[in-house]
Amino acid sequence: MASSKETYCLCGQPYNIGQFMIECDCCREWFHGSCVDVKIYQSDDIDKYHCPKCAQTYGPSVLKIPTNNHRADRYELGAETRASQVGSPAWVRALAARPLRPAPPALTRLRPQQFTEDFVKDNGFNRPIIFHTSEGLDMVTPNPATFTVRSVLRFCGAQLEVEVIDVRRQSTLRMPLGDFVEYFETPPDLRGERVLNVLSLEFSDTNMASLVEPPGLIRRLDWAECAWPLAEERPPRPAVQKYCLMSAAGSYTDFHVDFGGTTVWYHVMHGRKIFYLIPPTSTNLALYQQWSASNNQNERFFGDMVEWYGTAELCAGQTLCIPSGWIHGVLTPQDSLVFGGNLLHSYSIEMQLQIYEIERRVETPVMLRYPLFEAMHWYAGAHLLTMLRRHNEETQAASYTTMPVAELNGYAHTQLPSYDAAIAQQYPANNYRPTVVHTARRRRGRRPPTG
Ligand SMILES: O=C(O)CCC(=O)C(=O)O
Ligand SMILES: [Fe+2]
Ligand SMILES: [Zn+2]
Ligand SMILES: [Zn+2]
């Protein structure tokens, strides 16, 4: 009878939850992937697995024969006439062949020195901004000449479990950072068509944290910085400020809105990214919800369903800020290493609340939302009140117009009852990056039956 004490593999160790195992199609024994050098992301391509012992008699494992390159499943039979699917090599190639549409009216090009709170007060923060140099942004990043994915490995540790998007399948899997870096350091033509993308490595609590600081203005605007209380008995502040993105060439992240309507900044250390940007007009947000709920979402490029989209090409050394609510997809033409982060702030309250409403309506899993979003609004309200009082004391004249409190006021009344529930529900640490749940065809590592 199978029991949890049962042992397997060359090593004679038991099954460990979370450790990938594979069954030999000859002797029917189970093996730890790490003991027989098979990675979880390679197992899908194996038709018949032969363990090291059986391989001596029956020859090496038999790989599946790919029949198409325009579908999530490259082995799908009879798929020749079916539509191309998002993330497949054919899809990515077709997208890369489209002409770019750099769009002056939608994309503000700023010198870092112009990016001040006064600029935001005067112009709002509702158009993407691109910086061709970071000098003057008051941002901290490591030296790109020496910092690579290998450095990420050194700072965060090979054992750190990271969530990885399998671009072709548009699904997520977890693997140790060490495995991912080994994959990333393999030349693209030897990666066996596997395109992997890491978007959700938040490193605030790793040794890498001190190497990166968001642009100065971003830090000053960020409610997590200026409004979240430091008191120890409070929940830890939401950790969404420092992400390390590592994307293999050919990665594509389909259109989405960042969680909670957060504003986001990206700085490219290595490689290149192409952003497809769509403004969050009410028409576009409605179309977006329609498209998200449709059953052929993964065969339709959302950019073609709206009146207009623009592109922003971001090369090494450049920085992009995407404002609240902007719908975006991202193509990665070359292996890339990017730092970025998300924030809620006082100049996009209305849009942030609107996106939160959409997330509630479409029942976005809590795991994919801004952590403690509602609690954050109470702290932000308190913070704005303090600022307002200070302002009034200083000027002796009530000048409410520049303070965006009105929206919060309405919010406080409608959301009051769910506050505690939100705290309870949202407290666990979670993971908010796009993980393309809609098309997820989850496939865990094969593992032995447990008793
Ligand atoms: O770089 C990518 O592939 C996606 C970036 C992005 O939009 C995100 O992580 O939210
Ligand atoms: Fe995004
Ligand atoms: Zn083993
Ligand atoms: Zn065997």
Q: What is the 3-state secondary structure (H, E, C) of 336-357?
A: EEEEEEEECCCCCHHHHHHHHH
Do residue 366 and residue 254 come from a single domain?
Answer: yes
What confidence tens digit (pLDDT) does each residue in 209-243 have?
999 999 999 999 999 999 998 877 778 889 999 99
44 pLDDT band (50/70/90 cuts)? confident
Nearest alpha carbon to residue 127 among 302, 270, 321? 321
Do residue 128 and residue 40 come from a single domain?
Answer: no
What confidence tens digit (pLDDT) does each residue in 312-371 have?
999 999 999 999 999 999 999 999 999 999 999 999 999 999 999 999 998 888 888 999
Do residue 38 and residue 135 come from a single domain?
Answer: no
> What is the position in ligand 1's atom list of the atom closest to the CA of 258?
10
201 lines ligand 1 (CB under 6 A): no
- For residue 434, pLDDT over 60 is answered with no
- For residue 420, pLDDT over 50 is answered with no
* Average pLDDT of span 189-217: 94
Measured by CA distance, the residue closest to atom 9 of ligand 1 is 199
Do residue 175 and residue 285 come from a single domain?
Answer: yes
What confidence tens digit (pLDDT) does each residue in 54-81 have?
999 999 999 998 888 999 988 888 899 9
Do residue 348 and residue 262 come from a single domain?
Answer: yes
| Distance of CA 68 from the midpoint of ligand 1 (Å) | 27
436 lines ligand 1 (CB under 6 A): no
327 located within any domain: yes
| Distance of CA 258 from the midpoint of ligand 2 (Å) | 5
417 located within any domain: no
- For residue 31, pLDDT over 70 is answered with yes
- For residue 437, pLDDT over 60 is answered with no
* Average pLDDT of span 381-385: 91
State whether residue 370 is helix, strand or coil: coil
Residue 217 CA, distance from chain mean position: 22
What confidence tens digit (pLDDT) does each residue in 260-277 have?
999 999 999 999 999 999
| CATH number for 18 | 3.30.40.10
Residue 299 CA, distance from chain mean position: 21
pLDDT score, position 407: 54
Burial status of residue 302 (CB atoms within 10 A of its CB: 0-12, 13-18, 19 or more): buried
Do residue 282 and residue 155 come from a single domain?
Answer: yes
pLDDT score, position 442: 23
| Distance of CA 38 from the midpoint of ligand 4 (Å) | 14
Do residue 35 and residue 171 come from a single domain?
Answer: no
pLDDT score, position 373: 94
Do residue 184 and residue 55 come from a single domain?
Answer: no
pLDDT score, position 192: 78
What residues make up the domain containing 331? 97-374+426-439
* Average pLDDT across the chain, whole number: 87
**Percent share of the chain, pLDDT over 90:** 71
Provide the domain count of the chain. 2
Among 99-108, 211-220, 245-254, where is mean pLDDT lowest? 99-108
Do residue 18 and residue 122 come from a single domain?
Answer: no
Do residue 131 and residue 53 come from a single domain?
Answer: no
pLDDT score, position 367: 84
> What is the position in ligand 1's atom list of the atom closest to the CA of 336?
1
| DSSP per-residue string spanning 76-109 | -TT-TTSPP-TTSHHHHHHHHHSPP-B-TTT-EE
446 located within any domain: no
| CATH number for 315 | 2.60.120.650
| Distance of CA 5 from the midpoint of ligand 2 (Å) | 44
Do residue 244 and residue 181 come from a single domain?
Answer: yes
381 pLDDT band (50/70/90 cuts)? very high
CB atoms within 10 A of CB 373: 23
- For residue 443, pLDDT over 80 is answered with no
165 and 252 Cβ atoms separated by less than 8 Å: no
| Distance of CA 275 from the midpoint of ligand 2 (Å) | 9
Do residue 11 and residue 160 come from a single domain?
Answer: no
340 located within any domain: yes
Measured by CA distance, the residue closest to atom 3 of ligand 1 is 253
What confidence tens digit (pLDDT) does each residue in 274-323 have?
999 999 999 999 999 999 999 999 999 999 999 999 999 999 999 999 99
89 located within any domain: no
Which ligand is in closest contact with the Cα of 36? 3
* Average pLDDT of span 16-40: 91
Pocket test for ligand 1, best of 162, 369, 433 (most atoms within 8 A of CB): 433
Nearest alpha carbon to residue 370 among 261, 264, 260? 260
